Structure formats: C-alpha cells, structure tokens
Structure 1
Amino acid sequence: MTPRRIHHAAIICSDYARSKRFYTEVLGLRVVAETYRAARDSWKLDLALPDGAQIELFSFPGAPPRPSWPEAQGLRHLAFVVDNLDAELAALTAAGVEVEPVRVDELTGARYTFFADPDGLPLELVEPRQG
C-alpha cells in the first residue's frame, strides 16, 4: 500500500450554518458542493483547499460532542500550511477567533499555533521554516 496524499477530512458539526460560515468566510475555503440529504436530515458541504485536498462538513441531528480536553484518543487536530503565519493570525483575530500564542517546533523549526472551530475541534496553522 502506498497512499499518495490526504484526499479529505470529514468533520461533523453541531450547528451547520455557524460552521459553514467559519470554514468558508473565516478560513476562506472554497465550496465545491453542498447537498441536503432529506432521508438523514443531514447537510454535506464539500470544501476545497488550494492543493486539491478537501474537507467534508457534515451535520447529523443528535451527534454527540467530541471530547477534546483532556486530549482524547483519535484524530488530535487538523493542520493547515500557511505562507505567512502573522497575516493569518491577524485575520483570525479580526474575525473574533481566539488563537494560542505562536510556538516554534523544536524538531523542524516551523512556527505554529492552534485555534478551534465553532465546535472546539483543534485546528493548527503551520508556517514551515524558510531556507
């Protein structure tokens, strides 16, 4: 088996309209498709990143909350590469998103920070070390 790249990550949200606004307006992801599935009373929003990877945003009535703190087993967080971490932090802060202090990865030298989506899902921005 030789996977080549991540195709998509799927996220189940508690408030579809709030999460749709966050991922499209705050993070600026492009909508590929939006589907309402009446049989499941569920929305599915396909969002694209510039490299072709996608996020599938789902709403399911009655979905239980995800335990995050203390850190739970399973997917720890979703990380996005950015070219200018300071500019992205300014945009998030201007949108009212709380962002953790910037740290430097001791192994790679990359600058990074964490913030959360509307349901508390940990998201990370990574600015790879230049040079």
Structure 2
Amino acid sequence: MPVEQHTPIAQLNHTAVYAGDRQLSAEFLAAILGLPVGAPFGPFLPVDLGNGVTLDFYEKRDEPIQPQHYAFLVPEEQFDAMIDRLEALGVTYYADPGHTEPGRVNRLFGGRGAYFDDPDGHNMEIMTRPYVRP
C-alpha cells in the first residue's frame, strides 16, 4: 500500500527532561550550548532552543531517571567553543553514541559531532550537520 506524502504540520513545542536537580541539569546544558536558563514555569525550568523548542527540566526524585537521547544541531562556528566548555568542566565527550571513543569528535555527513552525558546520564549530542535521510 503506497504511503501518502504530506507536508508536515506538527512541530515539537516543548518536552520535559527529567532531572534529579532541575537547576543543576538546566544550567549544565545551557552552559555547554551557550544559552540562558529561563525563569521557572510551575515545576519546570526551561531552556529555550533556537528553533522555538523548549526543554523543560523537571525534578523527578521518586524513581530512577531513565536516560534519554537529545541531539542539538549547532552552528559550525560555535562547535569548538562547546567542546572547550565541556573540557573546562571536566566532562568527557565521545565521537560515538556508545561512548567508546573518548576525547574525539566524529565527522558525519560533512560536519562534526560529539556525545556527552549530562548530570542525570542523558546522552547529549551536538552536531553541525543534520543526518542525511533517504
């Protein structure tokens, strides 16, 4: 059965990022990406991204946090500064999502990328080129 082609109309607006300490986690990611942390909104502490999406850090202390993956498309000219900030904080970054190539970046799709863990074990990725899809 053929798949109908549609123009995408849905856009991601926000998502909750579970954290043991919302302030620590929001400030960590914001510092790496060079972004401000927003004012608290109810139980959430937001980090607004450049494309209108908000990551709402939410404290969850009643059960273990299940790590997720978050990928950020970043400008090539800011990538080195982000790596420098990771190094300044003593955070190991990796060329691969399985964290087997420490201190290296990848060169996928003509850009550069790296993976690192946030304070709650979420696997964060910065990349300068989006993945090519068929």
Tell me the TM-score normalised to structure 1 length: 0.71
Show structure 2 runs of 5+ residues with no match.
1-5, 95-103
User: Percent identical across equivalent pairs?
Assistant: 29
**Structure 1, residues 20-39: CA drift from partner, whole Å, max 9, x if none?**
33133343333333045xxx
In structure 2, what is the Cα distance between the partners aligned to 1:86 and 1:24? 16
Match of 1:50 in 2: 50
Kindly state the Cα deviation for residue 4 of structure 1 after the two structures are TM-superposed. 4.4
In structure 1, what is the Cα distance between the partners aligned to 2:89 and 2:123? 17
Aligned length: 113
Is 1:78 equivalent to 2:70 in the alignment? yes
In structure 1, what is the Cα distance between the partners aligned to 2:52 and 2:113? 22
Match of 1:71 in 2: none
Is 1:96 equivalent to 2:90 in the alignment? yes
Equivalences for residues 103-122 of structure 1 within 5 A? 103-105=106-108, 108-122=109-123
Report the RMSD for the aligned CA atoms in angstroms: 2.3
Letter in 1 for 2:35: L
Tell me the TM-score normalised to structure 2 length: 0.70
Match of 1:61 in 2: 61
Show structure 1 runs of 5+ residues with no match.
37-42, 69-74
Distance 1:62 1:115, change over 3 A: same
- Going by fraction, where is strand more abundant, 1 or 2? 1
Is the contact made by 1:26 and 1:95 (CA closer than 8 Å) also made in structure 2? Answer: no
Letter in 2 for 1:9: T
